[in-house]
Amino acid sequence: MPPPTRPLVLRGARVVTMDAARRIIDGDVRIEDGRIAGIGGKGEGGRGKGKAKATTVVDCRGLVVLPGLIQAHVHLCQTLFRGLADDLPLEDWLAKRIWPLEAAHTEESVYWSAMLGGAELLLGGTTAILDMETVRHTGAAFEALETLGLRATAGKCLMDAPAAPAALREPTDRALSEAADLGARWHGRAGGRLRWCYAPRFVPSCTGPLLRAVSDLAARADAVIHTHAAETPVELEMVKRATGHDELSYLDSVGIAGPRAALAHCVWVDGEGIRRLAAQGTSVVHCPSSNLKLGSGIAPVPEMLAAGCRVAIGADGAPCNNRLDAFTEMRLAALIQKPRRGPDALPAAQVLELATLGGARALALEQEIGSVEPGKRADLVVLDLSGPHAQPDDADLVSRIVYSARAADVRHVLVDGRIVVRDGQLKTGDVAEIRREANRQARRLRRVLTG
Amino acid sequence: MPPPTRPLVLRGARVVTMDAARRIIDGDVRIEDGRIAGIGGKGEGGRGKGKAKATTVVDCRGLVVLPGLIQAHVHLCQTLFRGLADDLPLEDWLAKRIWPLEAAHTEESVYWSAMLGGAELLLGGTTAILDMETVRHTGAAFEALETLGLRATAGKCLMDAPAAPAALREPTDRALSEAADLGARWHGRAGGRLRWCYAPRFVPSCTGPLLRAVSDLAARADAVIHTHAAETPVELEMVKRATGHDELSYLDSVGIAGPRAALAHCVWVDGEGIRRLAAQGTSVVHCPSSNLKLGSGIAPVPEMLAAGCRVAIGADGAPCNNRLDAFTEMRLAALIQKPRRGPDALPAAQVLELATLGGARALALEQEIGSVEPGKRADLVVLDLSGPHAQPDDADLVSRIVYSARAADVRHVLVDGRIVVRDGQLKTGDVAEIRREANRQARRLRRVLTG
């Protein structure tokens, strides 16, 4: 359970609610028991009301409150590999760098990789993630997430097919039994802030029996399934050869589809595939930086949204980005569609939906997070847009957030009503220690590549 | 003349020199009379050497020194229009928003627009720009640039053709005579830091006589010519219809080509055009954010570099970006080529060249700026890459700068050896005053659109 938090008021902010009417409200955000108790009542919140419990007041005049940003596809275990795999295509990137490095992970390096990535995420206004770890030591990542106070749905990577790298491949039963153990231990921990997901890596590295079992187990555990799909033509071709089906049909046939499934990338999906994803209610997780950096392509996001698909956004892992920055992903998501579909494609307001409401749906937490509304969890970002780069100050606020704002504009961050970043400083971890330990582990891992 | 500066030492940094061998040197950077006097001699600089003049020592241990970043296409007069023209195609963007707003500019609004944009540029590590102002009040922009201490080559926008908007069109002679007056007043001011350029807007808004005169006058004054070219197919078609030539041939025929010419955009250039640009030694200024945001397309930069073209980089104006951030442009320049040309296209090292050496060439200042070498002007950026987003710290340094670093990592900035940003704070202007006055002017200008 999270520690009981005192009632808290963010006083006098401009609140981008992302409620159904997309209201922007000037006023206070009142937080009780980790949830939003009310919005409005400018300047009055939490003062002289004779409440029994003392209320913490955070002065947010001149600042902007947003729903905490959500990234629905990250690999925290890869944060230590940032800068070790630049300018390579996906298949080489995986086989020559990422897989050998993942195989060399220890419990300690997984922990510090998650601490490093989690610190960057929180400092940049990301309050919730859908995370795919590596095959081993996933418990260590959960421990880091528990410490940092980030909301996370995370899973051990599952790989049991002959095509998976030998150093990471597991027998199907062992993979599934460890998954079940991790789920039993972590699903719902920290007052529900930590959740388990099933994370088969992608079709080419998983057998049909594994994927079908994942579908059943996820349904029974009410867990999300987190995987990759349709990232490159090479992948599509591999799946076609191995299964005789196109990848999305195959995933559907093994039960990985629908509101419980989050498919990262979906770059190479045609009109038929888009209609199928929309009808299923499957979440697509768009990763624009990663798709560009690995040369994968540009996902047809405007077409997906027009068809009614559920779309979220994510940075993917640090080595294919090399940031874990929701502001970078939002701006890029908007920009890359415009040469394809015209300058009015994917306007700012739609992009902010991907990083809030869309992310909440991909985590199957749309009742709990994704907007600033009474009753929802108090996962909030407080932005300072007073810098020269975000002026004039009366331009459209959502445009300022998507096109001009940056991670460094994040002043405060709350998760479950707990202040995890205050005045730009991480409160739940010592950044100097994280840097030192992460670098120590990274140097050890790097030796795997050089000798 | 710039104020005489005391000798200064940046002590103990890691210096990315961008010299011919692309050396990265651990040591001191010694600065005298606004120029780099030496690099190296770790930890000794400026101490106990019995020099006559007192030396200022800036502790840069753990920090990274780069050549000041150069953006060779900006419109400071448009900074106040940021967020007022989102999600529109170029032609509407110009006719419905930018031109009416430029026409409404006063001396005061041009001044504060330049102060706002200049502050953002310096705080983000850009030390030199090639700037196109609007038709009127260009002197006010130079005054702002003189105050801020940014290195700038700037010009009044020239438009004399019937197709130019009536509120900004000038008779050819009046345009050229004001240009000559501005050049006489500002070219070489502030110890050479401020320079004049001729800035015909683009072919469709200029007559042949104006363009030919510009070519002659620029040659006589040893000035750069700064214009737009080949940004959209609509523009190419207009030029073809009006002149019978393709745009680059036409520009060549009126003398706008060669090392003195900087052509922003060049998105729609074929192999023949690329060969011509390379043979001429014309500078292309790549503006990736702007080209995406306006839906213009993706310039064939790898092909240009392979052919030997001179290529620089720029943010363009705030309303088509909406940042003026060299780090954003560098990272995006690398990423957008990879789906087109493979993940090894435009690697980090090449991108950093665009923003340093390439920019220096576009400003015809390659003897003076663009690298950290003895004898060059001390235009320098000091980065703090200790944040979680830039770890691990022993990954390739240039990759960390291009893919991970961000404007907010800029700790100190020097132009001509003068510290213009220290500890992330602008020393040459009051940011609160700039924000207040810029917003006051922006609110006045906005009434042009609404009423």
Neighbours of B95 (CB within 10 A): 12
Say if A41 falls within a structural domain.
yes
**In this complex, do A403 and B88 lie within 8 Å of one another by their Cβ atoms?**
no
Task: Write the CB contacts of A353 (distance below 8 Å, at least 6 apart in sequence).
Answer: A18
**How many domains does chain B divide into?**
2
Say if A20 falls within a structural domain.
yes
- Considering the domain architecture, whether residues B353 and B381 belong to the same structural domain is answered as no
Q: Which of B342, B362, B382 is the last residue of a domain?
A: B362
A274-320: pLDDT as tens digits: 999 999 999 999 999 999 999 999 999 999 999 999 999 999 999 99
CATH of the domain at B122: 3.20.20.140
A419-428: pLDDT as tens digits: 999 999 999 9
Say if A15 falls within a structural domain.
yes
Q: A403: which DSSP letter?
A: I
What is the value of pTM for the model shown?
0.96
Q: Which of A322, A385, A428 to mutate: most B Cβ within 10 Å?
A: A322
Alpha-carbon separation of residue B443 from A400, B77, B102, B134, B449 (angstroms): 16, 15, 14, 19, 11
A225-284: pLDDT as tens digits: 999 999 999 999 999 999 999 999 999 999 999 999 999 999 999 999 999 999 999 999
Say if B77 falls within a structural domain.
yes
Q: Is the interface score ipTM higher than 0.90? A: yes
- Considering the domain architecture, whether residues B295 and B182 belong to the same structural domain is answered as yes
**Cα separation of A319 and A327, whole Å?**
18
Which residue is closest to A323 within chain B, CA to CA?
Answer: B404
CATH of the domain at A394: 2.30.40.10
On chain B, the residues whose CB falls within 8 A of the CB of A387 are: 120, 123
Give the range of the structural domain holding residue A396, as residue numbers without chain letter: 8-67+371-426
- Considering the domain architecture, whether residues B223 and B85 belong to the same structural domain is answered as yes
- Considering the domain architecture, whether residues B175 and B247 belong to the same structural domain is answered as yes
Say if A319 falls within a structural domain.
no
Q: What is the mean pLDDT of chain A?
A: 95
Q: Does B292 touch chain A (CB under 8 A)?
A: yes
Q: Which of A77, A78, A86, A406 to mutate: most B Cβ within 10 Å?
A: A86
The sign of the CA dihedral A383, A386, A387, A392 is positive
Q: Any alpha helices (H) in B26-134, and if so which ranges?
A: 90-92, 99-103, 107-123
The dihedrals phi and psi of B190, each to the nearest 5 degrees, come to 55, 45
- Considering the domain architecture, whether residues B16 and B93 belong to the same structural domain is answered as no
The dihedrals phi and psi of B301, each to the nearest 5 degrees, come to -65, -40
The dihedrals phi and psi of A177, each to the nearest 5 degrees, come to -75, -35
**Whose CA is closest to B281, among B260, B298, B306, B253?**
B260
- Considering the domain architecture, whether residues B198 and B92 belong to the same structural domain is answered as yes
Query: Would the pLDDT of A386 be above 50?
Result: yes
On chain A, the residues whose CB falls within 8 A of the CB of B393 are: 435, 439
On chain A, the residues whose CB falls within 8 A of the CB of B384 are: none
pLDDT of residue A53: 64
Q: Which two tokens stand for residue A35?
A: 């949830």
**Cα separation of B20 and A133, whole Å?**
43
A177-206: pLDDT as tens digits: 999 999 999 999 999 999 999 999 999 999
Among B292, B386, B399, whose Cβ lies nearest the Cβ of A86? B399
- Considering the domain architecture, whether residues B62 and B162 belong to the same structural domain is answered as no
- Considering the domain architecture, whether residues B43 and B76 belong to the same structural domain is answered as no
Please compute the mean of the pLDDT values over residues A19-45 and round it to a whole number.
89
Q: Does A234 touch chain B (CB under 8 A)?
A: no
**In this complex, do B439 and A394 lie within 8 Å of one another by their Cβ atoms?**
yes
- Considering the domain architecture, whether residues B159 and B296 belong to the same structural domain is answered as yes
**In this complex, do A388 and B435 lie within 8 Å of one another by their Cβ atoms?**
yes
Find the distance separating the first CA and the last CA of chain B, reported in whole Å.
44
**Cα separation of A90 and A238, whole Å?**
14
Instruction: Please report, in tens digits, the pLDDT of each residue of chain B (451 residues total).
Output: 455 578 999 999 999 999 999 999 999 999 999 999 999 975 444 444 444 568 999 999 999 999 999 999 999 999 999 998 887 777 888 888 999 999 999 999 999 999 999 999 999 999 999 999 999 999 999 999 999 999 999 999 999 999 999 999 999 999 999 999 999 999 999 999 999 999 999 999 999 999 999 999 999 999 999 999 999 999 999 999 999 999 999 999 999 999 999 999 999 999 999 999 999 999 999 999 999 999 999 999 999 999 999 999 999 999 999 999 999 999 999 999 999 999 999 999 999 999 999 999 999 999 999 999 999 999 999 999 999 999 999 999 999 999 999 999 999 999 999 999 999 999 999 999 999 999 999 999 999 887 6
Report the Cα A128 to chain-centroid distance in Å.
6
**Cα separation of B226 and B251, whole Å?**
12
Say if A206 falls within a structural domain.
no
Say if A17 falls within a structural domain.
yes
Q: Does B278 touch chain A (CB under 8 A)?
A: no
Say if A381 falls within a structural domain.
yes
- Per DSSP (E only), the strands in A268-322 are 283-286, 310-313
Among A79, A87, A343, whose Cβ lies nearest the Cβ of B295? A343
Alpha-carbon separation of residue B178 from B138, B139, B141, B234, B350 (angstroms): 10, 10, 15, 30, 39
